[in-house]
Structure 1
Amino acid sequence: MTMMIKLNNGVEMPALGLGVFQTAPEATTDAVTAALATGYRLIDTAAAYGNEREVGDAIRRSGVDRAEVFIETKIWVTDYGYDKTLHAFEKSAAKLDVDQLDLLLLHQPVPTAFDTTIDAYRALEQLLADGRVRAIGVSNFTPELLAELRNRTEIVPAVNQIELHPYYTQPDVQTADAELGTLTQAWSPIGGITSYRGGTRPTFADPTILDIAAAHGKTAAQVMIRWHLQQGRSAIPKSVRPQRIAENFAVFDFQLTTEQIAAIDALKTGERGGIDPASISADGFGLIIPEA
């Protein structure tokens, strides 16, 4: 069982998927294979993750029909620009071994070179018009940059993927997304980022979340995933452990109460764990995406 969300262009996407950020290529095939066997049908990757090829291998070997798997990937900033972005699509499609992508995002805005970001998005619009992708969107866009993008392009992003977990909820971005009809998709949806990079207050150990988990006989991660789904967001938790991958998918057999959702909402600190989008530069920190 899974839950589907209809995007603003009518395409249906599974609400819950497997993310493979920071998953080593040698671990990616097994993780995606386990996810597909569990029932996941959305896989989120990115050119910058360096594991698109392994994602494609796992999907191909899984025995699951390609039409049933929703593949989402992202263009890295060093491939921004109209022609470069069109070529970046070709690189990703070749590594994933597909002719069409289900969702293609711009990985980051580049505020200091936003004209290039706009050119990249216009390339996504062309890929959509050509049927090479089924939906397009962005990642880590602020309300101000969403507004500028909307003013300078034709197609409203179907998705804005952002850092979003109980400690960092970005209500201003969620509101801007909702006003546009753009789906908010959460990366680090269970607060993994709060337990690494020197984090000292992990969401997994939060007493409020643990109390709610105990009341439902669920894990803290399952409660946080359910919190996203009940508020209409998409979530892409990551794991390489088959047991944890399965646990994260077992969230369709319980409901959080209104009071429990409000209690989790109240945990927000406003502290970002990831990179501030304003700090992204046109050189992409020196990362060059290799050819297929």
Structure 2
Amino acid sequence: MSIRTVGVIGAGTIGRSVAQSLAQAGAYEVVLVDIAQSQLDGALKQMERELRFQKVLSAQELESSPETILARITTGTELAKLADADFIVENVTENWDIKRAVYEEIDTVCRPGVIFGVNTSAVPITRVASVTSRPAEVLGMHFMNPVPLIGTVEVVRGHFTSDATLDTALDLLKNLDKEGIVVQDSPGFITNRVLMLTINEAIYCVQDQVATASQVDRMFKGCFSHKMGPLETGDLIGLDTILNSINVLYDSFKDSKYRPAPLLQKMVDAGLLGRKSGQGFYVY
């Protein structure tokens, strides 16, 4: 399948970075859609800043000027803008009701055969596929933050996902200089089934006053040579996203080990979401 235009739904941190990576690849036109025009405007400004920083950092990193790259991106606040897309990457919040409504609409907007890549950390791909008329063309594409720096993507095969769909998605990732590792559909897949449990348990350690956030992270970096500790990682991802993901795992497995730490819920209620809000377990 030839892909010329990629639709990206959601202009938050991950969606914006995916759109930028696609535009930088030079092979694709990008349509970036979000419900808020202010979010789209902010995303374009942030992309311009990052592209100019890359150009200053190393002229070799950018084959095209920031203006040329950004010219490949069009934006809109209506999903109808995706009618001409050949491939979709969806990045809305980890809330099933919201995701379901998006897929029910784009299934009518996009022509038959267009692939839907679900950028989710926990929502089962088969569940998403079940609300569309194209279950064979639905797969998971779990991009990690920061997208431009992470060279691996967790690709999830749902119950109905076809070989052709997987091949097309893996080829698209290769054009972004990324490797896709294919895993089977299960809540949380591999990365978040393990990572969310680790972050949640680290939060319990802080809540129970076993250690400070800094001490927890220093242990992981010093003892296991991790580049970031679990609480630094939580702040980077966004504590609201962590809470949504751990709730999906708890609802899916009905296992108390996935019960979210009360401190996590309290911090999200207080708006202490991590880097995106300026404060989480650390101040930014």
Shared fold (TM-score, shorter chain, > 0.5): no
Given the two structures, how large is their TM-score scaled by the length of structure 2?
A: 0.34
TM-score, with structure 1 as normaliser: 0.34
Question: Higher helix fraction: Structure 1 or Structure 2?
Answer: 2
Q: Which structure has the larger Rg over C-alpha atoms? A: 2
Greater RCO, CA 8 A, separation 6+? 1
